[in-house]
Amino acid sequence: MTDRRSDDVQHDPAAGVAAIAVPTREALEAHLAPYAAHSAQSRGRRYPEAAPSARTEFQRDRDRIVHSTAFRRLEYKTQVFVNHEGDLFRTRLTHSLEVAQIARSVARNLRVNEDLVEAISLAHDLGHTPFGHAGQDALNECMREHGGFEHNLQSLAVVDDLEEHYGAFNGLNLCFETREGILKHCSRDNARRLGALGERFLEGRQPSIEAQIANVADEIAYNNHDVDDGLRSGLLTVEQLAEIELWQTHFEASRRDFPQIEGRRLIHETVRRIINTLVVDLIDTTRENIARHAPASLEAVRAAPALVAHSDAIAAQAAALKRFLFKNLYRHYRVMRMANKARRVVIGLFDAFTEDPRLLPPDYQSTDVTQQPRLIAHYIAGMTDRYAVKEYQRLFVIDDN
Ligand code: MG
């Protein structure tokens, strides 16, 4: 005769140790605040599936993203510096991991769904072209007459359609809340086309707190790692950064606290303090906003103004850093030279495939001429930096072997 308690913690007489009780899916999220996205209340998947047995719906989404082909490609896609420029610069993959790390810290402190923020963070850049923003701008230009190209929408296309991993459906069949978080921006035209997912852009409503966190964590991550990579590459100097309050405050504090350190170590100490300041400010300010608006559910979060935010003072300092990076790093002549080459590769590939679609791998050829440009865009967007360069060489370079 077993009572209720011995069901919860079963005893294995052979091993002589207590087996770990299996938590219910509700128990895995019992700590969440009422305004969090609870996976049991998800608006569901495009193709209905049985509930997972050992994890929550959002954990399953996160796992599918990590196992996707597009996720592995992020390793060889440019953030700012092209992969071959150095082994220590951020790639889209390490960027996405840093975003997830920051977003999870914030989520845990606010008692919202860490698994959902992780899924959104890891997927947010899946649709990026090779060569960072230069690649996306060039592809958008090529696609101007055919509906344009936008990396947020492309990330959604990857998880909704392009991945071929499962027998029952195309794409990863992720939950509505994960897809909503991936779609950070969207034009009104595209929003109309997207049905339920596009509604918030037409109605001026917010996404979940988890989506809002992933969005701000993205900015915190790239502002800081671009400073770090900019200094590492020599395109930025510590002297230039002295005009930026957010940098200088923490640089001076680091020197004061550790007068013996210098070089890379001093830079790392400064950057980690900046990240910490931004994260703590984000948690504190968001907590105040939540207290003020007291959203009792995810639906109330959608109807409220954006709740995840920095304080005015820190927001102004972060914006100044962002402007500095734009002017001094993203527009640096050496970055512009690389961007120019990237542009030539993307436009060259697009034009060659458009002129003669028979040059495309068969999967990307279409008998429908109206569909052909989008398939070309999918093919190019899926390329890593080095694959794009190789493909360009295969099409345009005649060598002697
Ligand atoms: Mg990003």
> What pLDDT digit, counting tens, does each position of 227-263 carry?
999 999 999 999 999 999 999 999 999 999 999 999 9
CATH label of the domain that carries residue 119:
1.10.3210.10
CA–centroid distance, residue 372 to ligand 1 (Å):
28
pLDDT at 5: 45
Asked whether residue 24 is assigned to any structural domain, the reply reads no
CA of 237 to the centre of ligand 1 (A): 24
Quick one: three-class SS letters along 307-337?
A: CCCCCHHHHHHHHHHHHHHHHHHHCCHHHHH
Binned at pLDDT 50, 70 and 90, residue 325 comes out as: very high
Q: How many angstroms separate the alpha carbon of residue 160 from the centre of ligand 1?
A: 19
Q: What percent of the chain has pLDDT over 90?
A: 83
Asked, for residue 401, whether it belongs to a domain, the answer is: no
Residue 340 CA to ligand 1 center (angstroms) comes to 21
Q: Which long-range contacts (CB under 8 A, 24 or more apart) does 222-225 make?
A: 222/79, 222/95, 223/318, 223/321, 223/322, 223/325, 224/271, 224/274, 224/275, 224/278, 225/79, 225/90, 225/94, 225/95, 225/98
Could you tell me if residue 25 is inside a domain? no
Query: Does this model's pTM top 0.85?
Result: yes
- 387 pLDDT band, cuts 50/70/90, is very high
Taking the C-alpha atoms of residue 392 and residue 258, their distance in angstroms, rounded to an integer, is 50
Classify residue 200: in a domain, yes or no.
yes
**What is the 210 CA–ligand 1 centroid distance (Å)?**
15
Q: Based on the structure, what is the number of domains in the chain? A: 1
Please report whether residue 8 resides in a domain.
no
What is the arithmetic mean of pLDDT over 337-349?
94
Inside any domain, residue 11: no
Q: Which domain holds residue 288?
A: 39-396
Q: Is residue 29 part of a domain?
A: no
**C-alpha 125 to ligand 1 mean position (Å):** 5
* CA 214–ligand 1 middle distance (angstroms): 9
Distance of CA 343 from the midpoint of ligand 1 (Å) = 20
Rounded to an integer, what distance in angstroms lies between the CA atom of residue 219 and that of residue 16?
Answer: 51
Could you tell me the distance, in angstroms and rounded to a whole number, from the CA of residue 46 to the centre of ligand 1? Answer: 25
- Asked if 146 and 373 touch (Cβ cutoff 8 Å), the reply is yes
E strand or H helix at 18: strand 17-18
CA of 130 to the centre of ligand 1 (A): 14
Query: What amino acid is encoded at 129 in this protein?
Result: T
